Amino acid sequence: AKSRGRNQFGYFMPSMQRAAQNKMRTVNDLRAALARNQLRVLYQPIVELSSGRIRKAEALLRWEHPQRGAVSPAEFIPLAEESGLIVAIGDWVFQQAFHQAMRWRASIDPQFQISVNMSPAQFRRQWSATGPPPLPHKRSHPLLGRYSGSEIVLEITEGMLMESTHSIREQLLAFRESGIQMSLDDFGTGYSSLSYLKKFHIDYLKIDQSFVLKMVAGSDDLALCEAIVVMGHKLGIKVIAEGVETQEQRELLTGAGCDFGQGYLFARPLTAPQFDRLLRRRDRG
């Protein structure tokens, strides 16, 4: 009866209402996908530019929809955030990444780290139901109960630092105190007040790929990257360049003293077994 109703009235339905329905359907599908284990985490290598070695990875979520095929995170993450589903999904990604980091720490490199993208709602949840927060405590967050090492780096955006409420900022600081490292994603695209870099003791800056993709010798984009590296290093922050696609970009970034590179030049996001194969191939030379 439900689908007949949709057919009958679909023609008259204002397009905004139809868009809202599509959204709702996508959110329901996403919820089912999480329950049925149809989401996947891919890992994109992060390479130390001075040595060419893979030192880290970024966890990137993928959704293979049974009818629609691959749905881009750019499409479904905003819906997951709007619906609150991102909290459960984010926990799942965090756990996958944590276990993978433990495996790679055992097999490849005891310092190996995986960075995980965080949404604001993942920091907000503790206190949303109970009103104003008490003083944050190390163990107040579900993720912190189990994970307190440096296996995981949280990727947050400038917006989360600038626009977030007091309670989110307090929660971020509580994460920091527990030893979890933080990376500032998409750096240069927002409205960062540079004082936040110091205040939150950021460990890594990720230069946004929009600066890297068009970078050539003598370009303004290169000058910006160089300036970010100098500033980062003066503050004790390591710098990661995203979207490295060409050998020229790699050389310019290495010349600028950038610490790490991530991008299609090195590898696309990979499944864990693909990642293992790549590492073994590299080890053999």
- Would you say 182 and 202 are in contact if contact means Cβ atoms under 8 Å apart? yes
Q: According to the binding rule CB under 6 A, does residue 264 interact with ligand C2E?
A: yes
Which residue matches tokens 């980091």?
Answer: 101
Q: According to the binding rule CB under 6 A, does residue 263 interact with ligand C2E?
A: yes
- Least Å distance, CB 263 to ligand C2E, is 3
- Would you say 76 and 270 are in contact if contact means Cβ atoms under 8 Å apart? no
Task: Measure the CA–CA gap between 95 and 186, rounded to whole angstroms.
Answer: 23
Name the binder of 183 from ligand C2E, Ca ion, none, CB < 5-8 A by kind: none
Comparison of 229 and 240: residue with beta carbon closer to ligand C2E: 240
Q: Give the range of 16-24, 237-245, 248-256, 274-282 binding ligand C2E by CB under 6 A.
A: 237-245
Name the binder of 97 from ligand C2E, Ca ion, none, CB < 5-8 A by kind: none
- Would you say 245 and 265 are in contact if contact means Cβ atoms under 8 Å apart? yes
Of the candidates 15, 37, 51, 72, which one interacts with ligand C2E according to CB under 6 A?
72
Q: According to the binding rule CB under 6 A, does residue 119 interact with ligand C2E?
A: yes
Extract the tokens encoding 34: 């999480």
Comparison of 106 and 251: residue with beta carbon closer to ligand C2E: 251
Q: According to the binding rule CB under 6 A, does residue 209 interact with ligand C2E?
A: yes
Task: Measure the CA–CA gap between 264 and 184, rounded to whole angstroms.
Answer: 21
| Polymer length of the chain | 285
Q: According to the binding rule CB under 6 A, does residue 70 interact with ligand C2E?
A: no
State the Cα torsion 171-260-162-198 to the nearest 10°.
70
- Least Å distance, CB 268 to Ca ion, is 15
Of the candidates 169, 175, 269, 275, which one interacts with ligand C2E according to CB under 6 A?
269
φ and ψ at residue 269, rounded to 5 degrees? -60, 135
- Would you say 243 and 213 are in contact if contact means Cβ atoms under 8 Å apart? yes
Residues 140-179, interacting with ligand C2E (CB under 6 A): none
